[in-house]
């Protein structure tokens, strides 16, 4: 199965910021981006209100180490 994937457009230093996230969070973000590139919605993605139609955010909670 060869699906056409859309490009990811990074704004400002967003790519560098994602690279600084903990590995587990980077993995979730990468997976969600691949879903979006194929036109699907990842379970962690939700519409970003006030930005515009078709804009999604990926929300991943990070447990703080104690």
Give me the residue spans of the domains in the chain. 14-58
Residue 48, CA distances (Å) to 45, 51, 56, 61 in order: 9, 6, 5, 17
Rounded to two decimals, what is the model's pTM?
0.76
Q: Read off the pLDDT of residues 8-37 as tens digits, 9 standing for 90 and up.
A: 999 999 999 999 999 989 999 999 999 999
Please classify residue 19 by burial: count the beta carbons closer than 10 Å to its beta carbon, then call 0-12 exposed, 13-18 middle and 19+ buried. Answer: exposed
Residue 2's pLDDT band, with cuts at 50, 70 and 90, is low
Question: Can you tell me the distance from the alpha carbon of 45 to that of 40, in angstroms, rounded to the nearest whole number?
Answer: 10
């Amino acid at each position: 199965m060869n699906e056409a994937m859309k490009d990811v457009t990074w704004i400002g230093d967003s790519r560098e910021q994602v690279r600084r996230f903990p590995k587990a969070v980077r993995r979730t973000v990468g997976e969600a981006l691949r879903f979006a590139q194929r036109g699907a919605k990842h379970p962690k993605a939700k519409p970003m209100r006030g930005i515009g139609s078709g804009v999604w955010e990926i929300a991943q909670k990070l447990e703080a180490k104690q």
